[in-house]
């Protein structure tokens, strides 16, 4: 989508960059000329991805293991990125954990694990890099990957909904507070984008064969990874220099479909409309 070299000279940290949407964003950032640091708990997964993407894009990608729940590991990961590339320009808070469950079945530890990865992980990375940027008097961009239910909540993924809502609040709050340091904060709220990580935990069998995630999307399809990568690349690029504090939804219209009082009338046939109109006019 962007012209060649649009991200040249930028170093971008992508948490959870070894898999799924993180990997898709990393691929496109590399293709556009950025250096990328991918980070998560599993070094073997990160290294496999890094090797494959080096071969595919000829870009510079560094794999650094880090559990975003642990502040000292986050600080060390940022230090490693600065050592390797001289500076960091962009943070993409993409790492997440999630699974479906009736809330009353959750242990307090199950609630903790999701909130710790999503909310604590995001503020750990944001705080550590924000302090560094402010001390260095260096501008930066923070892109947070949330979900459409960050704004409206969702049954059966309550820890994730609570944590993503917190991430959205951080996005909007720091967009104002840190703008004076030249730090932008933005977010993407994706609808359904099939990934192994999300699908195995959110649409396991026998649910997967009963519930088609595309059915509730007005465009009648799920998202393509490149579509999300396009939006992410734009938002972290200088072309989006005046976009700050905004959350951009990319869901084919899904959440609005669930929200509109009369949207389900989509099910009515033209014959039914004829009959309804006749009754009403009478």
Residues that bind ligand NAP (CB under 6 A): 15-16, 18-22, 40-42, 45, 67-69, 94-97, 117, 121, 145, 147, 190, 192-193, 195, 197-198
Rg (CA), the chain: 20
CB closer to ligand HXC out of 101 and 230: 101
192 binds ligand HXC (CB under 6 A): yes
- Min separation Cβ 65 and ligand NAP, Å: 8
Task: Tell the residue number behind the tokens 């609630």, with chain if given.
Answer: 111
Active site residue 149: yes
- The SS3 assignment for 206 reads coil
180 binds, among ligand HXC, ligand NAP, none (CB under 5 to 8 A by kind): none
Catalytic one among 71, 123, 149, 156? 149
- The SS3 assignment for 138 reads coil
45 binds, among ligand HXC, ligand NAP, none (CB under 5 to 8 A by kind): ligand NAP
- Min separation Cβ 20 and ligand NAP, Å: 2
If 0-12 CB within 10 Å is exposed, 13-18 middle and 19+ buried, where does residue 236 land? buried
Burial of 89-122, coded b for 16+ CB within 10 Å and e otherwise, reads bbbbbbbbbbbebeeeebeeeebebbbbbbbbbb
Q: In the range 70-129, which residues lie near ligand HXC by CB under 6 A?
A: 96-99, 101, 106-107, 109-110, 113-114
**Closest C-alpha among 13, 22, 184 to residue 96:** 22
147 binds ligand HXC (CB under 6 A): yes
**Closest C-alpha among 57, 61, 83, 54 to residue 5:** 57
Give the whole-angstrom CA distance, residue 146 versus residue 112: 18
Answer for which of 38, 198, 232, 235 binds ligand HXC (CB under 6 A) is: 198
- Min separation Cβ 264 and ligand HXC, Å: 20
Answer for which of 64, 74, 202, 231 binds ligand HXC (CB under 6 A) is: 202
94 binds, among ligand HXC, ligand NAP, none (CB under 5 to 8 A by kind): ligand NAP
Count CB-CB contacts under 10 A for residue 49: 21
- Which residues have C-beta within 8 Å of that of residue 104, sequence separation ≥ 6? none
Q: Which residues contact ligand HXC (rule: CB under 6 A)?
A: 96-99, 101, 106-107, 109-110, 113-114, 147, 160, 192, 197-198, 201-202
Residues with a catalytic annotation lie at 149
């Amino acid at each position: 989508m962007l012209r060649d070299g649009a991200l040249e000279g930028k170093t971008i940290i992508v948490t959870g960059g070894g898999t799924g949407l993180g990997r898709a964003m990393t691929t496109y950032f590399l293709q556009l000329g950025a250096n990328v640091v991918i980070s998560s708990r599993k070094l073997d997964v990160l290294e496999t991805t890094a090797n494959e993407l080096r071969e595919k894009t000829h870009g510079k990608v560094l794999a650094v293991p880090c559990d975003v729940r642990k502040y000292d590991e986050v600080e060390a990961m940022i230090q490693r990125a600065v050592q390797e590339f001289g500076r960091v320009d962009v943070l993409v808070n993409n790492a997440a954990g999630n699974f479906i469950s009736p809330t009353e079945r959750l242990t307090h530890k199950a609630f903790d694990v999701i909130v710790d990865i999503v909310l604590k992980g995001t503020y750990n990375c944001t705080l550590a890099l924000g302090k560094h940027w402010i001390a260095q008097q260096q501008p930066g961009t923070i892109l947070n990957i949330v979900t459409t239910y960050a704004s409206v909540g969702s049954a059966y993924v309550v820890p994730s909904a609570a944590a993503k809502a917190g991430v959205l609040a951080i996005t909007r709050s720091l967009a104002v507070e840190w703008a004076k340091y030249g730090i932008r904060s933005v977010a993407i709220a994706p609808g359904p984008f099939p990934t192994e990580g999300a699908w195995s935990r959110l649409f396991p069998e026998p649910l997967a064969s009963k519930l088609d995630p595309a059915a509730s999307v007005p465009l009648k399809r799920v998202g393509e990874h490149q579509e999300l990568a396009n939006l992410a690349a734009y938002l972290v690029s200088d072309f989006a220099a005046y976009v700050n504090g905004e959350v951009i939804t990319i869901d084919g219209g899904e959440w609005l479909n669930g929200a509109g009082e009369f949207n389900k009338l989509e099910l009515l046939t033209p014959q039914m409309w004829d009959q309804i109109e006749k009754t009403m006019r009478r």
